Structure 1
Amino acid sequence: MDDTPPPSSTRGPAPPGARIKGRGAASNPEGRFESIRHQAEDDGWSHALLDEERPRPRTEVTEERARSVISRNDSPDIDFSQAINPYRGCEHGCIYCYARPSHSYLNLSPGLDFETKLRAKGNFAEVLRAELARPGYVVSPINIGSNTDPYQPVEKRWRLTRAALELLAECHHPCTLVTKNALVERDLDILVPMARERLVQVFVSVNSLDNRLAAKLEPRASAPHRRIQAIRALADAGVPVGVLVAPIIPALNDRDMEAVLAQAFAAGARCAGYTTLRLPHELKALFREWLVLHAPQRADHVMSLVQQMNGGLDYDSNFATRMRGQGVFAELLRRRFELACRKHGFGRARELQLDASRFVPPRRPSPQGELF
């Protein structure tokens, strides 16, 4: 009989108590659109393997050809109307990521698939150029990284974010960046000239200063202290930078809010924002599973507070409350945040006014190339 453990790509939940080093999710449940469900049963063999001996799923990147890349929204609780995302899925593996359920549209799991089976839009810059060159295009700041992190580890090789920045700089188009990876420092040669023209603002997400907790919550993102260093590098270079304490998870990382703001301000961040934990669709079960594996003694308490902030539910999609929550604990977080911001002199997260008046439409792609 072959007692070799099943391959890492097998669908269905992982064996009970199975933690996967370097990954946020411990299982691979089907997405909400799937009609077939798989149920794994523990036969006892999995417990004979130590965590470090368990097969670790590798990151797979598939190139796709995008037909459009600029997405638009009119949500009243979001400060930007345009966004671009070079990648689908995110190798950072943040267990709390509200974008995980979007992988279901690809017939992939919001669990391990989201952080291991990535899609890279190989023609990203080409399609972006075509969209910016359209005669009816209306300029407004484009956010890069609203769904998945534009500086996740695979960006080192694919360089899609850098290609987009080069194009935006070429046509003097304003943009904002959101990341939790120090790789953003690589593109200072583009960001610094853009900053001089008020064309860019960077936000670095830091929700805890606890390296051990961060390694479990967001296993392949830069360590918290490294992100603080990135804030310093950006600020010292003259790039406007802010900090996002997001998401705040009650009874887990909320204790670090004031310390994060203090260190970020000392490093050069001059605006700040925060959001509370959001658990849409499949993310509810994935986060509960993570709590049982990594914080079993406080799991019930965490979810109790989460429900208190969401009207008794795991998640409330109401635009008025989904980002900050409601109730006593949510109000306490708001007051703590505002007090810390006043103490250090932070501005609001989107306070900087970017300049959209310099925009020059790029030349449309042509099979004839450019003669001049």
Structure 2
Amino acid sequence: MDDADLSIVERDPDLPVLGLLLDTARLDEELAAAAGERAWSSVEVERLRYKVGTSVQASVALSDDAGPVRRLRVAGYRRGRTDKLRKDIRWARSGGGLVANSESGSWSAVAPWADRHLGIGDRLAGHASDPSALQVLSYNPARRLVVRPTVGDGTGLLMKVHAPGTSKAPTATLHALAAAGAPIVPTSAESGGTVRWSSWVDGRVAGPDVDGDAVADALELLDRAAGGVPARTWSSQDLSVRAGRALRTVGSLLPALAGAASSLAADLDEALRQLPAGATSFLHGDLSPDQVIVPNSGGPVVLIDLDDCGRGPGGWDRATWLASQVATGSVDPVPLPGPAPHPTLLSAALAIRSPEPFQRRRVGWARTIESMLAMSAAGLRARGGRA
């Protein structure tokens, strides 16, 4: 636990599980003690969802030398809110997904498919008689789970489960894009669109320094294919709302930056209102290198996770591509070939992604966030030089 983590824990004493999740050595010990065994060699908090003074939940990977052995949802609530914790435990226990809970009654650890916010149990009927046989590829607590069946006829498929109301792209849009030749995998849906199935693509995530041309080509193809596809449209003011929310989060995590974050939010709002009207594009919406798969077969790259796709300001995908690299700690992000995004769009992308270094538990997260805010502010100062 570094000084920035320690400061957060000290400011939120009524949320005891927070200190546990920010201290992986202690988390390792307590999980092993509560589970009665230690069948892993390392513990990593992959994603943290924190509401100040209220709750914290995390996707925790237990790994050995070959990679993740299993993933867990570890969660706890404000001191005295045992009702929510008991609800988590009852839900998980009823489906056989309870892994451990603390003797002090401050936290629980459950399998991702036992996350009550996702309500996955009933949705697995007919797809997996043993949910523990599912390979968990990605898990965002209370939001989304991506799994791959490891036995039976489903090994060539990917299953993505969303919490109700969290996926913005209608399945019809994804169907139409695939039919029009967009570089995505065909998707089918059930349970009102909260469960989606797609084909598994054997490959690796894109490397900014080696795959930029292919990614830029894929974005052009996506835009062309989407010509008559019905999809939502979002504006620069939608970006302002998202940036403001992210910057308020930064202010709560790092009070020393609260003033700068608030000023940046106001400046961004003004700059986005003044953003020159330009061409719109059909956008991935949340582009980063790990949202692009380079197939082992050698075929064209495939865009994945188009939950935020739609029509919006041209250049936004290029901005998020850069900002995502900065959020991982890159000091020399590699842009996509072609025109650079407008400085205001890049500033907005940096602001929107600014909480990610903390949420993804990056080493030196506080310094990275401070750097992202400084880069965002510098981009606004530079916008006067753009038409």
Provide the TM-score with structure 2 as the length reference. Answer: 0.30
The structure whose residues are more often helix, as a share, is: 2
TM-score by length of 1: 0.31
Larger RCO: Structure 1 or Structure 2 (Cα < 8 Å, ≥ 6 residues apart)? 1
Higher share in strand: 2
